[in-house]
Amino acid sequence: MKNTAEKSGLHPRNRHRQRYDFSALVATHPPLGEKIAVNTWGDTSIDFADPEAVKALNQALLHHFYGVAHWTLPDGFLCPPVPGRADYLHHLADLLAEDHGNSVPTHCNLLDIGCGANCIYPLIGQAEYGWRFTGTEVSEPALRAANAIVAANPGLQRSIRLRRQKLDNAVLNGVIHKNEFYHATICNPPFHASAEAAQEGSSRKQRNLGQKSSAPLNFGGQQHELWCEGGEQAFIAQMITESVDFARQCIWFTSLVSRKEHLPALRDQLRELDVAEVRIIDMAQGQKQSRFIAWSFMDKGTRAKRLTKPTA
C-alpha cells in the first residue's frame, strides 16, 4: 500500500501513526538500509514480500521506539506487524484506565497467552507502560527464542518472565499459579481450524503480495501459531471455560477475535456464566478491521479496588 501522511484508524498513542521515517530507522538499525528502495508509487519503502526486509524493519522499529536493541527470530516463526500489536495494548490500556480514574495504571501484571518466539506484546508493553508480563508458550523452540531476546536486552528480565504451557489442550490451566494475580490477559489465538485452511490462507497472502505459491511468507508461522482444532473460536471458547476457575485472579480476560462472525457464539457462552461485564473493543489499521473481546467476573467497584492494590 502507498504510504500516507498518517495511518488511519490507529490508536492516538500509537507511535506508528505517521509514515515510517526510514532515515531515522536506518540510523538506529543500519542493516535496514540494504532493504530500502523506491516502490511503484515513488515512496521510499521495503518489499513486504521479502521476509528478511520485514524482519529488519521490525528490528529497527523495536530498537528505535521501544529500546529493544537485540531482537531476532528463528526461521519460520511468526514475524508480527508491530503497529497492530501496539494498538491492542493501547486499547487495553484504555480499558484498564476506565476503572483507574481514567488514568492508565503502570503497575499492572499481564499474562500473554502464547507469547511466541517474537515476544512482541511484552516487549512493547513494558516499554510503553512499565507493565510486567508473564508470557506462556507451548513450543519449546519458541520459548527458547523468546528467552534469548529477554536475556540479550539488559533490564528486560525484571519485567518479563516466560513460562512453558505443558498441558495439552489447555489455555489458562497450568500457567496461572496459586496466589498469582493479573490485571489482564492478552492473546492472539491460532486463526485457522486446520493445516489445510492455514495453507490456503498463506497462499492467499502470497497471491496478494504477488508471490509464487512456493515463495516463503514474510510473516512465517509455525503450526501452533497458525491453527488449532476448531480454530480461533474453539480456542477462545476454551479460554472462556477455563477463566471461571480464575475469576478472582484476573480483572480482564481478553483475546483478539479475527472474525467478527465468531462474536455472537462467544457472547452467548459468556452470558451463561456469571460474568459481570463483556466488552468488544474495535480497532482498525487502514482498511483492516480488527477487535478484541474482554470479559470480567468483577463488577466495576471491585475492579477499581483491585487496580489500586500492588501485586506480587
**Per-residue pLDDT reduced to its tens digit, 157-186:** 999 999 999 998 899 999 999 999 999 999
Q: DSSP letters of 176-207?
A: S-TT--EEEEEE----BSSHHHHHHHHHHHHH
* Residue 40 confidence class, pLDDT cut points 50, 70, 90: confident
- CA 35 from chain centre, in angstroms, equals 25
> Cα–Cα–Cα angle for 99, 104, 105, nearest 5°?
80
Distance CA 107, CA 91 (A): 17
Q: What is the pLDDT of residues 80-114, one digit of tens each?
A: 999 999 999 999 999 999 999 999 999 999 999 99
pLDDT value, residue 210: 52
**DSSP 8-state code for residue 217:** P
pLDDT value, residue 162: 98
Stretch 222-249: mean pLDDT = 81
> Cα–Cα–Cα angle for 285, 86, 254, nearest 5°?
95
Question: What share of the chain in percent tops pLDDT 90?
Answer: 74
* Residue 310 confidence class, pLDDT cut points 50, 70, 90: low
- The beta strand positions in 47-141, using DSSP E, are 109-113, 132-137
CB half-sphere exposure, 273, CA atoms < 13 A: 23
Distance CA 309, CA 311 (A): 6
Q: Could you give the residue ranges of the DSSP H alpha helices within the chain?
A: 22-28, 51-66, 82-98, 120-129, 140-152, 195-208, 223-226, 231-243, 263-271, 300-308
Residue, of 157 and 194, whose pLDDT is higher: 157
42 contact partners, CB below 8 Å, separation of at least 6: none
Neighbours of 199 (CB within 10 A): 14
Stretch 55-64: mean pLDDT = 98
Neighbours of 255 (CB within 10 A): 23
Distance CA 236, CA 238 (A): 5
Distance CA 69, CA 75 (A): 19
Distance CA 249, CA 175 (A): 12
pLDDT value, residue 230: 67
Q: Which of 37-41, 110-114, 194-198 has the lowest mean pLDDT?
A: 194-198
Check: CB of residue 254 under 8 Å from CB of residue 284. Answer: no
Q: Fill in the amino acid letter for 129.
A: Y
Q: Fill in the amino acid letter for 175.
A: V
Residue 199: all three cell numbers together: 495453507
Quick check: pTM over 0.85? yes
Question: What share of the chain in percent tops pLDDT 70?
Answer: 84
Check: CB of residue 99 under 8 Å from CB of residue 300. Answer: yes
